[in-house]
Structure 1
Amino acid sequence: MNILLTFDSFKGCMSSDEANAVASSVLQRYFPNDDFIALPLSDGGEGWLVAYQRAVGGQLIPVATHDPMMRRITAHYLRLGDTAVIEVARASGLSLLQSEERNPMRTTSYGTGEILAKAMLDGCRKFVVGLGGSATSDAGIGMIRALIDVLAPSGRFDDIDIIRQCSFTLGSDVTNPLCGERGAAHVFGPQKGADAAMVRALDERARRFAEASARHFGYDRSRETGAGAAGGLGYAFMEYMNATCESGARLLLRAAGLSRFLPSTRFVLTGEGSSDAQTLMGKLPSVLLSETRDCHPPVPVYLFAGCVSDRERLLAAGFAEVRGITPLDQPLVKAMRKDVAQRNLRVAVAEWAQHFGQTDI
């Protein structure tokens, strides 16, 4: 039988690969006759490119680009034939900034546009874009500007013929619209460094941009599901490039071939940094749960997280078990250390395996 390990990253302390490895090292003692299959996964944010390459192969292509503060960096996209897989966080990510640099009034998605342009000039015509982990809230204005600068000598976006030859699929766990109380600025702006005044200014800027774009194109995608992803990059892709938006976790699970493993799977272990009611809004563990329900009988999914709230709601949704790995008396600063997070996961998985026993799982 298979045992599937499908941990998302524990942001800031443990990658998907590292979490899978910790769980595997523990469980092999309890299930010596089973095959362990580790699927490094991402919902579209950090780790998207690595996880996608692990799933399908491909070549990482370096691109000279700019970070959110317009400093020169080298980022990469993943090429598979005429398909380019792009992780927005590589050029426009929050992890590229020091905490004191977080200011979405200044940060730009320009670098993501440069990666897109390079991939188009390299011959790519199909794009799979992971939205998440961005430092920006510019509604994709920076990305559009970069595409114009690189691909349109006339200075007009409408003259970029190559874009009309391309297709774009967005991977994201965000369902928010571009503007309003549930929009990109109000919901995600504060974690990117915005205070209340900045949030209002960012939301107003996005609204004006969407209104001007709607007048130009004759349609408005700002209210569509996922338009608020990555600080409004989702909107720019949909409005300007006719992109479609899907669950990032589902896209990656499909690429990794999850369905072919499930019929012979004993159980699935998954996890993330924090699990609560938001987990059920399209994040990786909930997508896994929905995929395993299609099996007969359903494959049980066990969820481990750095911290857990709404546990009863998560159990009611169908998880076979939900466990927080961080001791209640452990300070968050200590729990976020990589060595401590790995030890906490190791202990939690071992306690779980000992409690249930192989024959009870």
Structure 2
Amino acid sequence: MKYVLAIDSFKGCLTSEEAEKAAEKGIIAVDKEADIVKVPVSDGGEGMLDVLATLLPMEKKRVSSYDAMMRPVEGVYGVSGDTAYIEIAKTCGLAQIEPEVRNPLVATSYGVGLLVADALQSKCRKMVIGLGGSATSDNGIGMLQAVKDTLAPGCHLPVDQILAPYDSVEVILASDVTNPLCGERGAARVFALQKGASLKMINILERKAITFARMSALHCGYDCKDVPGAGAAGGLGYAFLQYFKAKVQSGIDLLLNMSHFDDIVVDADYVITGEGASDKQTLMGKVPVGILKRVQSYAVPVILIAGKITDTDRDILKNAGFADAVCINPETMTLEKAMEKDIAKINISQTMKRLFTRDTTMNINY
């Protein structure tokens, strides 16, 4: 039997590679003849740079930077050939900010801008920006300010004029978020709550986004606020679209293409995907649904595993096409315990054993 493992990181717990190794261990325990292919994956969020490093010859560049709360951190991005790969979650990621200090009204993308400016100064001709997992809702204003401060310190020219010498640099946004900047499906109303925003903050953030987009449109003569992906990473997508003339590309498809995923999966018997927590939002562009869409034409069953899935969400996910959606954690296990790295690995391995033992009673719909 051929098993393809394409499991996203369990955020704050396991990398994609660690989750897949745990799954491999469980499968081998019950199928000694198993042909297992591991495909580390990311949608442009947490873990993108690590996955790319397994697919490309890559140099890691380190830059003094700041996290979303303007605390000094060592920023890092990858360079392969003349292309820079920047994972924003490594600099202004939500996972790096303690819950008690999260504040979307204060959080800034300034640190990301320092990496972008360094890549431009390093003569990179292309940038791939992984949007996902951000703690920010500043519409990319912080990023633009950092670029301006670095490329033209003390200059009073607007940022679009400062960026003019870099017009030939291609910018690709690796993201599966299709939300616009503003409105009911915009950055503030859909994503700010999970970043620590109150309902009052959400209204303030929405007004800030509308104002910034209006001013930018008047200045630039065009408006990208409704372009799909503008709402990604708290509006950081908008700033790149508006001021860098960036293009959006599916993050999961970008990495799957690099790994020649279709060639790997065409003769598979099972595909296992997963993430830390799965619900109906999984169907809104997250890694598992990206995997599902790629595999459906090959009629290979796709099984989703996650650290958290309710019965209701399990039904929703199965109706969407997953052969099964399985929670790896025992019902009685606390979140704190489940988040321990060694425990998470054991739970993934045990789940694989249960799924693929010949006399399993689990109901997998082929």
Task: Give distance in 2, aligned partners of 1:249 and 1:66.
Answer: 27
Instruction: Please say if residues 45 and 87 of structure 2, whose CA atoms lie closer than 8 Å, have aligned partners that are also in contact.
Output: yes
- Residue of structure 1 in register with 2:53 after alignment: 53
4+ long deviations beyond 4 Å: none
Q: 2:235 aligned with 1:232, yes or no?
A: yes
- Residue of structure 1 in register with 2:85 after alignment: 85
Identify unmatched segments of 5+ residues in structure 1. none
Task: Give distance in 1, aligned partners of 2:156 and 2:218.
Answer: 19
Instruction: Please say if residues 46 and 133 of structure 1, whose CA atoms lie closer than 8 Å, have aligned partners that are also in contact.
Output: yes
- Residue of structure 2 in register with 1:351 after alignment: 354
Query: How far 1:84 sits from its partner (Å)?
Result: 0.6
Q: TM-score, normalised by structure 1?
A: 0.94
Task: Give distance in 1, aligned partners of 2:129 and 2:359.
Answer: 40
Partner of 1:210, secondary structure, is helix
Instruction: Please say if residues 27 and 349 of structure 2, whose CA atoms lie closer than 8 Å, have aligned partners that are also in contact.
Output: no
- Which amino acid is 1:215 matched to? L
- Residue of structure 2 in register with 1:172 after alignment: 175
Task: Give distance in 1, aligned partners of 2:146 and 2:101.
Answer: 22
Task: Give distance in 1, aligned partners of 2:71 and 2:192.
Answer: 21
- Residue of structure 2 in register with 1:144 after alignment: 144
Task: Give distance in 1, aligned partners of 2:34 and 2:349.
Answer: 19
Partner of 1:182, secondary structure, is coil
- Residue of structure 2 in register with 1:15 after alignment: 15
- Residue of structure 2 in register with 1:312 after alignment: 315
Instruction: Please say if residues 56 and 256 of structure 1, whose CA atoms lie closer than 8 Å, have aligned partners that are also in contact.
Output: no
Task: Give distance in 2, aligned partners of 1:125 and 1:292.
Answer: 33
Q: 2:364 aligned with 1:327, yes or no?
A: no
- Residue of structure 1 in register with 2:251 after alignment: 248
Equivalent in 223, 226, 243 of residue 223 of structure 1: 226
- Residue of structure 1 in register with 2:68 after alignment: 68
Q: TM-score, normalised by structure 2?
A: 0.92
Query: How far 1:314 sits from its partner (Å)?
Result: 1.7
Aligned alpha-carbon RMSD (Å):
1.8
Instruction: Please say if residues 27 and 34 of structure 2, whose CA atoms lie closer than 8 Å, have aligned partners that are also in contact.
Output: no
Instruction: Please say if residues 2 and 261 of structure 1, whose CA atoms lie closer than 8 Å, have aligned partners that are also in contact.
Output: no
Task: Give distance in 2, aligned partners of 1:293 and 1:62.
Answer: 40
Instruction: Please say if residues 173 and 248 of structure 1, whose CA atoms lie closer than 8 Å, have aligned partners that are also in contact.
Output: yes
Q: 2:165 aligned with 1:162, yes or no?
A: yes
- Which amino acid is 1:300 matched to? P
Task: Give distance in 1, aligned partners of 2:276 and 2:164.
Answer: 42
Deviations 1:33-72 (A, max 9, x none): 3432211111111111101111223111111112212222
- Which amino acid is 2:342 matched to? D
Instruction: Please say if residues 26 and 348 of structure 2, whose CA atoms lie closer than 8 Å, have aligned partners that are also in contact.
Output: no
Task: Give distance in 1, aligned partners of 2:74 and 2:83.
Answer: 20
Query: How far 1:355 sits from its partner (Å)?
Result: 4.7
Identify unmatched segments of 5+ residues in structure 2. none
Instruction: Please say if residues 9 and 273 of structure 1, whose CA atoms lie closer than 8 Å, have aligned partners that are also in contact.
Output: yes
Task: Give distance in 1, aligned partners of 2:162 and 2:324.
Answer: 54
Instruction: Please say if residues 39 and 55 of structure 1, whose CA atoms lie closer than 8 Å, have aligned partners that are also in contact.
Output: no
Partner of 1:186, secondary structure, is helix
Q: Structure 1 27/213 Cα, relative in aligned 2: closer, same or farther at 3 Å?
A: same
Query: How far 1:16 sits from its partner (Å)?
Result: 1.1
Q: How is 1:256-335 mapped onto 2 (pairs within 5 angstroms)?
A: 256-295=259-298, 298-309=299-310, 310-335=313-338
Partner of 1:176, secondary structure, is coil
Instruction: Please say if residues 5 and 271 of structure 2, whose CA atoms lie closer than 8 Å, have aligned partners that are also in contact.
Output: yes
Task: Give distance in 1, aligned partners of 2:334 and 2:201.
Answer: 31
- Which amino acid is 1:173 matched to? D
- Which amino acid is 2:306 matched to? A
Query: How far 1:6 sits from its partner (Å)?
Result: 0.8
- Which amino acid is 2:125 matched to? R
Instruction: Please say if residues 24 and 349 of structure 2, whose CA atoms lie closer than 8 Å, have aligned partners that are also in contact.
Output: no
Equivalent in 186, 190, 197 of residue 189 of structure 2: 186
Task: Give distance in 1, aligned partners of 2:94 and 2:140.
Answer: 15
- Residue of structure 2 in register with 1:125 after alignment: 125
Percent identity among equivalent residues?
44
Query: How far 1:7 sits from its partner (Å)?
Result: 0.7
- Which amino acid is 1:23 matched to? A
Task: Give distance in 2, aligned partners of 1:33 and 1:40.
Answer: 22
Instruction: Please say if residues 5 and 37 of structure 1, whose CA atoms lie closer than 8 Å, have aligned partners that are also in contact.
Output: yes
Instruction: Please say if residues 2 and 266 of structure 1, whose CA atoms lie closer than 8 Å, have aligned partners that are also in contact.
Output: yes
Task: Give distance in 1, aligned partners of 2:215 and 2:139.
Answer: 13
Task: Give distance in 2, aligned partners of 1:314 and 1:97.
Answer: 30
Which deviates further from its counterpart, 342-351 or 324-333?
A: 324-333
Query: How far 1:96 sits from its partner (Å)?
Result: 2.3
- Residue of structure 1 in register with 2:108 after alignment: 108
Partner of 1:293, secondary structure, is helix
- Which amino acid is 1:85 matched to? Y
Task: Give distance in 1, aligned partners of 2:239 and 2:164.
Answer: 17
Task: Give distance in 1, aligned partners of 2:256 and 2:359.
Answer: 28
